[in-house]
Structure 1
Amino acid sequence: MTPNPNAFRVATYNIHKGVQGIGPARRLEIHNLGHAIEQLDADIVCLQEVRKMNRQGERQFARWPELPQADFLAPEGYTAVYETNAITRHGEHGNALLTRWPVIRQNHHDISDHRFEQRGLLHVVIEVEGRHIHAIVVHLGLIKGSRVRQIARLREFIDREIPPDDPVIVAGDFNDWGARMRYAMNAMGMRDASDLRGPPTLTYPSRLPITQLDFIYARRLTPLDSSVPRGPIWARMSDHLPLLTDFLLSKE
């Protein structure tokens, strides 16, 4: 992490509900994810597919955490914020944000495009050096048309809810093959680290990443560096790899 006092790190990570594998080979990875998230040393961690509770998991795994996953994953000294996107037969899951900075307020906005996919925006206002940073955690739909409409609703939400001069971060699993949503994000003043020279930030699938589905966009913040942790340990914890971006908080 850069020593610049105005720099900070944002991470986004789809944790696949803390479980990997299929059938009898299913294994609980939530404890390993807790150690991994701490190692990221990010000031803001945006998480998707986070379980608040799941009765099936509680029955199957003896070491299932007693706490909701967002609280369990939060490193010491961090605040965990969670909002449910989907209620299922066995429980509920959604988006979460972990931060070492004070949380001013939070809200949730439903952006579900059809009844088969429940999606939402988690909006958290964080205080940094006396300034407010708005962080929005997203997990967009699997269908291209849904993603287009959800980005339009994201823009409406930002225009309606966030002052135009406040810094904004939008991070999460965009399900965006080919980064086609980048044009729409750029059109609303949101930029990611795509202009920085560096290795490709491929995040999916974790075992042999061929594309980037996870993105961190920002307005009124300057990206300094972007990276993706790799290796066999990261490959086994989720089907996605985490994405990290260091930003510079400009002086007022």
Structure 2
Amino acid sequence: MYDANRIVEVIRASGADIIGLQEVDRYYSARSNYEDTIAVLAEQILSHQHYPLSSDESEQRGLLAAVLDVDGINLHFYTTHLGLAQSERVEQVKEIINIVASHTMEPCIITGDFNAHPDSVEVASMSPAFCSAFADEHDAFTFPAGNAVETLDYIFVNHQSGNIGDRTVIHSSLASDHYPIAAKLLL
């Protein structure tokens, strides 16, 4: 069972300014003890948009979007959790690219659980518009936490997002079955 307080602990320890969360429940799941995890994690929900993505599964898939003002610069931040079947993920990535296309002249970050390996069609489809913050890291394993042997989680940035500084896989199994990842962007 997930514990919102453990999630908060990991987030605080990371020092992150912006986070993207997956599988965070709002009231309806035994996994979270029917607790509104989002309310525990944030005092208020900022304005955002949700774009449903096509899905062959019973789980809803989507892309959550937010625009942040970073020192007068519009930063477009997106987070997603793609499906389990490759054919589904390929279509979902196409949808994501179409959704963000109108904002690519400004800094854009796309994060999430892509359920896909670095050499997959889905990940390759993100370029040339986006590159993975961990593109040259061949051991950025995120799943399963505790004994990670797969890279499924990504931070993609476009060319307007500046330089990628430090990046890390946060080896904490306190809050999730995936390890969190973090990257510092120098806008």
TM-score of the superposed pair, with normalisation by structure 2: 0.88
Match of 1:38, SS? helix
Paired AA for residue 228 in structure 1: V
Equivalent position of 1:248 in the other structure: 186
When Rg is computed on C-alpha atoms for both structures, the one with the higher figure is 1
Equivalent position of 1:170 in the other structure: 110
1:45 CA displacement: 0.6
Residue number among 135, 152, 158 corresponding to 2:94 in the alignment: 152
Match of 1:127, SS? strand
The question of whether the paired residues in 2 share the 8 Å contact of 1:228 and 1:243 is answered with yes
Distance 2:108 2:57 in 1: 29
Answering whether residue 70 of structure 2 is matched by residue 70 of structure 1, we say no
Q: What's the Cα RMSD here?
A: 2.2
Equivalent position of 2:176 in the other structure: 238
Distance 1:118 1:239 in 2: 19
Which structure exhibits the higher relative contact order, with contacts defined as CA atoms closer than 8 Å and separated by 6 or more residues? 1
Distance 1:55 1:178 in 2: 31
Instruction: Kindly report which structure 2 residues correspond to 1:20-39, keeping only aligned pairs within 5 A, or say none.
Output: 28-39=2-13
1:106 CA displacement: 1.7
Paired AA for residue 165 in structure 1: M
Paired AA for residue 239 in structure 1: D
Answering whether residue 54 of structure 2 is matched by residue 41 of structure 1, we say no
TM-score of the superposed pair, with normalisation by structure 1: 0.67
1:115 CA displacement: 4.9
The question of whether the paired residues in 1 share the 8 Å contact of 2:48 and 2:65 is answered with yes
Paired AA for residue 30 in structure 1: A
Residues 164-213 of structure 1: CA distance to partner in whole angstroms, max 9, x if unpaired?
311100001000134412211113x11112345x6721100001000111
Equivalent position of 1:182 in the other structure: 123
Distance 1:163 1:228 in 2: 28
Equivalent position of 1:13 in the other structure: none
Could you list the runs of 5+ residues in structure 1 that have no partner in the other structure?
Answer: 1-18, 20-27, 82-104
Corresponding residue pairs, total? 184
Instruction: Kindly report which structure 2 residues correspond to 1:57-206, keeping only aligned pairs within 5 A, or say none.
Output: 65=35, 68-74=36-42, 80-81=45-46, 105-159=47-101, 162-180=102-120, 181-187=122-128, 189-196=129-136, 200-206=139-145
Could you list the runs of 5+ residues in structure 2 that have no partner in the other structure?
Answer: none
The question of whether the paired residues in 2 share the 8 Å contact of 1:192 and 1:223 is answered with no
The question of whether the paired residues in 1 share the 8 Å contact of 2:50 and 2:65 is answered with yes
The question of whether the paired residues in 2 share the 8 Å contact of 1:176 and 1:213 is answered with yes
The 1:79–1:38 alpha-carbon spacing in structure 2 relative to 1, beyond 3 Å, is farther
Match of 1:45, SS? coil
Residues 121-168 of structure 1: CA distance to partner in whole angstroms, max 9, x if unpaired?
101011100111000111000000000000001111112xx3331110
Distance 1:42 1:35 in 2: 12
The 1:238–1:195 alpha-carbon spacing in structure 2 relative to 1, beyond 3 Å, is closer
Paired AA for residue 184 in structure 1: S
Identity across matched positions, percent: 27
Distance 1:106 1:237 in 2: 24
Match of 2:22, SS? strand
